[in-house]
């Protein structure tokens, strides 16, 4: 028993010696030293990052709140095809915002899609993000509302425009007619005291529009008037004043031009109108009478066929065979080309014109030549 214990002890001692020898042969382990951060550099880093964040924050806040922006006004059109991204692009392009992504972020958080609607809006750099969104609000609907695109041809009357809008579901013909008669439109050239739809004649600008289905009638018509108003730049108004005519006269002349031609000879027809209006026509036997069929037909909306001598006796201020000068209102809604022709007519001695079978108007300086053409086989009326 004792021998066994001694042998066991010897074996344990041998193992200890072997482990000691192996440990002596292993390379000594280095203690890792913890690297200390320079507190000055750390504080400097924090200050720099804070300054950058503060600067970026100030730039974003300045854009958000419309701080330090140069005075600027722009017109933005929102269509049914627009997204919040494309609206942000338009605002950026017009200098109303600087950071498109930040505006989109704000718009998403503020629910702008339910507030912004299709239409044409006048905006300025005094408006912050919230004001811009509010200014693009349309009471008739938002970007999520179903819309319809309608193209209004040049030369359409108010009555025709109302029928077209009703056909496309903008609203009923009755509701649109009532709005045309009674709604208040805040423009000096609209006679809000009248309840005749002719008070809007000439001021519903022909163009392509996006309307909401079942849109408020006054809003729908107001958008057309607003578009017309946007065309009235200082140059146009100055030219009207130079000619000695007011805006209503110019639009009335433009409507006559629009209805009398397909657009190929508008400035020549304009010259005939002015030659007759301005007195020298007395020498040619016109005595200030414009004798324009389109105006007479405006007074006879259900008329069919050619103008007769009996028609020319109609007692209406729109009968320019009977009454000298311009009709009391425009007879249609002219396009921009006709308005420009009314402002810049050709300089001619023409007092007469007639449509030939060749599809173009023929112009004459005297009644004898005009009558000879009308009685010839070349005249479209024969």
- CA dist 330 and 161 (Å) reads 15
- Looking at residue 338, its pLDDT comes to 97
Do residues 154 and 221 both lie within one domain? yes
Do residues 138 and 151 both lie within one domain? no
The predicted model gives 236-245 an average pLDDT of: 87
Residues 6+ apart with CB under 8 A from 107: 84, 87, 88, 113, 129, 133
Secondary element (H or E) of residue 354: strand 352-355
Domain end point (choices 230, 256, 281)? 230
Question: Mean pLDDT score of the chain, rounded to an integer?
Answer: 87
Q: Which residue has the higher pLDDT, 142 or 15?
A: 142
Residue 330 lies in a domain: yes
Number of H helices, E strands in the chain: 14, 6
Buried b (16+ CB within 10 A) or exposed e, 292-318: bbbbbbbbeeeeeeeeeeebeeeeeeb
Residue 55 lies in a domain: no
Q: How confident is the model at residue 371 (pLDDT cuts 50, 70, 90)?
A: very high
Tokens representing residue 157 in the block: 């009357």
Do residues 152 and 124 both lie within one domain? no
Residue 273 lies in a domain: yes
Do residues 136 and 151 both lie within one domain? no
Domains identified in the chain, total number: 3
- Pairing of β 147-151 and β 119-124: unpaired
Do residues 75 and 136 both lie within one domain? yes
The predicted model gives 255-281 an average pLDDT of: 89
Residues 6+ apart with CB under 8 A from 40: none
The predicted model gives 331-335 an average pLDDT of: 97
- Looking at residue 205, its pLDDT comes to 98
Residue 50 lies in a domain: no
Do residues 202 and 287 both lie within one domain? no
Which of 94, 167, 110 is closest to 142 using CA atoms? 110
Residue 359 lies in a domain: yes
Q: How confident is the model at residue 262 (pLDDT cuts 50, 70, 90)?
A: confident
Instruction: Answer for the pair 240, 250: CB distance below 8 angstroms, yes or no.
Output: yes
Do residues 189 and 175 both lie within one domain? yes
Q: How confident is the model at residue 350 (pLDDT cuts 50, 70, 90)?
A: very high
Q: Tell whether the model's pLDDT for residue 373 goes beyond 80.
A: yes
Domain end point (choices 181, 213, 230)? 230
- Looking at residue 280, its pLDDT comes to 56
- CA dist 195 and 217 (Å) reads 15
- Looking at residue 32, its pLDDT comes to 56
Q: In Å, what is the CA distance from 188 to each residue of 180, 205, 225, 248, 257?
A: 16, 16, 12, 11, 24
Instruction: Answer for the pair 119, 138: CB distance below 8 angstroms, yes or no.
Output: yes
Secondary element (H or E) of residue 48: helix 39-65
Q: Tell whether the model's pLDDT for residue 181 goes beyond 70.
A: yes
- Looking at residue 16, its pLDDT comes to 60
DSSP letter assigned to residue 152:
P
φ/ψ of residue 115, rounded to 5: -115, -40
Q: Which residue has the higher pLDDT, 43 or 310?
A: 310
Q: How confident is the model at residue 331 (pLDDT cuts 50, 70, 90)?
A: very high
Span between the terminal Cα atoms of the chain, in Å: 151
pLDDT tens column, 20-74: 655 556 555 555 555 565 666 656 655 665 666 665 666 777 888 888 888 989 9
- Domain, as residue range, for 89: 69-145
Residue 63 lies in a domain: no
The predicted model gives 301-318 an average pLDDT of: 92
Percent of the chain residues topping a pLDDT of 90: 64
Q: Tell whether the model's pLDDT for residue 4 goes beyond 50.
A: no
Burial group, residue 42, by CB count within 10 angstroms (0-12, 13-18, 19+) = exposed
Q: In Å, what is the CA distance from 331 to each residue of 156, 172, 283, 294, 344?
A: 9, 23, 28, 8, 20
Instruction: Answer for the pair 132, 110: CB distance below 8 angstroms, yes or no.
Output: no
Q: Tell whether the model's pLDDT for residue 340 goes beyond 90.
A: yes
Residue 257 lies in a domain: no
Which of 317, 333, 315, 314 is closest to 325 using CA atoms? 317
The predicted model gives 371-375 an average pLDDT of: 94
Output the domain CATH number for residue 122: 3.30.1490.480
Domain end point (choices 145, 175, 201)? 145
- Looking at residue 33, its pLDDT comes to 57
Q: Tell whether the model's pLDDT for residue 102 goes beyond 70.
A: yes
Which of 131, 115, 342 is closest to 246 using CA atoms? 342
Q: How confident is the model at residue 2 (pLDDT cuts 50, 70, 90)?
A: very low
Q: Tell whether the model's pLDDT for residue 250 goes beyond 70.
A: yes
Do residues 132 and 200 both lie within one domain? no
Residue 17 lies in a domain: no
Output the pTM of the full model.
Answer: 0.78
Which of 246, 152, 256 is closest to 205 using CA atoms? 152
Q: How confident is the model at residue 1 (pLDDT cuts 50, 70, 90)?
A: very low
Q: How confident is the model at residue 292 (pLDDT cuts 50, 70, 90)?
A: very high
Percent of the chain residues topping a pLDDT of 70: 83
Do residues 190 and 138 both lie within one domain? no
Q: Tell whether the model's pLDDT for residue 362 goes beyond 70.
A: yes
Do residues 104 and 196 both lie within one domain? no
Do residues 120 and 160 both lie within one domain? no
Backbone CA torsion sign across 245, 160, 218, 130: negative
Which of 162, 175, 192, 195 is closest to 301 using CA atoms? 162
- CA dist 100 and 106 (Å) reads 10
Which of 124, 59, 118, 125 is closest to 87 using CA atoms? 118
Do residues 109 and 158 both lie within one domain? no
């Amino acid at each position: 028993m004792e021998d066994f214990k001694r042998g066991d002890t010897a074996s344990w001692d041998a193992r200890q010696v072997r482990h000691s020898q192996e440990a002596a042969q292993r390379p000594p382990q280095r203690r890792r030293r913890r690297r200390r951060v320079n507190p000055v550099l750390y504080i400097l880093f924090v200050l720099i990052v804070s300054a950058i964040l503060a600067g970026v924050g100030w730039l974003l806040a300045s854009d958000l709140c419309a701080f330090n922006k140069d005075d600027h006004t722009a017109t933005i059109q929102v269509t049914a095809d627009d997204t919040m991204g494309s609206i942000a692009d338009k605002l950026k392009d017009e200098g109303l915002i600087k950071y498109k992504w930040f505006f989109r972020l704000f718009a998403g958080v503020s629910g702008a899609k339910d507030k912004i609607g299709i239409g044409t809006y006048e905006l300025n750099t005094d408006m912050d993000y919230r004001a811009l969104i509010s200014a693009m609000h349309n009471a008739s609907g938002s970007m999520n509302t179903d819309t319809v695109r309608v193209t209004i041809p040049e030369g359409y009357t108010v009555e025709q425009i109302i029928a077209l809008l009703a056909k496309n579901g903008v609203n009923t013909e009755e509701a649109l007619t009532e709005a045309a008669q009674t709604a208040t439109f805040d423009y000096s050239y609209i006679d809000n005291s009248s309840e005749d739809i002719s008070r809007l004649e000439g001021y519903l600008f022909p163009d392509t529009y996006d309307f909401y289905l079942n849109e408020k009638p006054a809003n729908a018509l107001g958008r057309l008037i607003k578009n017309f108003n946007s065309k009235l730049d200082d140059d146009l108004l100055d030219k009207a004043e130079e000619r000695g005519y007011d805006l209503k006269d110019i639009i009335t002349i433009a409507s006559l031009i629009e209805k009398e031609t397909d657009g190929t000879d508008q400035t020549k027809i304009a010259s005939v109108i002015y030659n007759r209006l301005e007195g020298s026509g007395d020498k040619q036997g016109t005595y200030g009478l414009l004798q324009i069929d389109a105006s007479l037909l405006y007074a006879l909306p259900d008329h069919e066929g050619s103008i007769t001598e009996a028609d020319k006796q109609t007692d209406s201020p729109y009968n320019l065979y009977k009454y000298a000068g311009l009709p009391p209102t425009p007879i249609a809604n002219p396009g921009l080309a006709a308005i420009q022709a009314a402002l810049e007519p050709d300089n001619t001695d023409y007092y007469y014109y007639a449509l030939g079978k060749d599809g173009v108007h023929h112009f004459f300086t005297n009644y004898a030549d005009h009558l000879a053409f009308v009685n010839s086989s070349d005249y479209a009326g024969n």
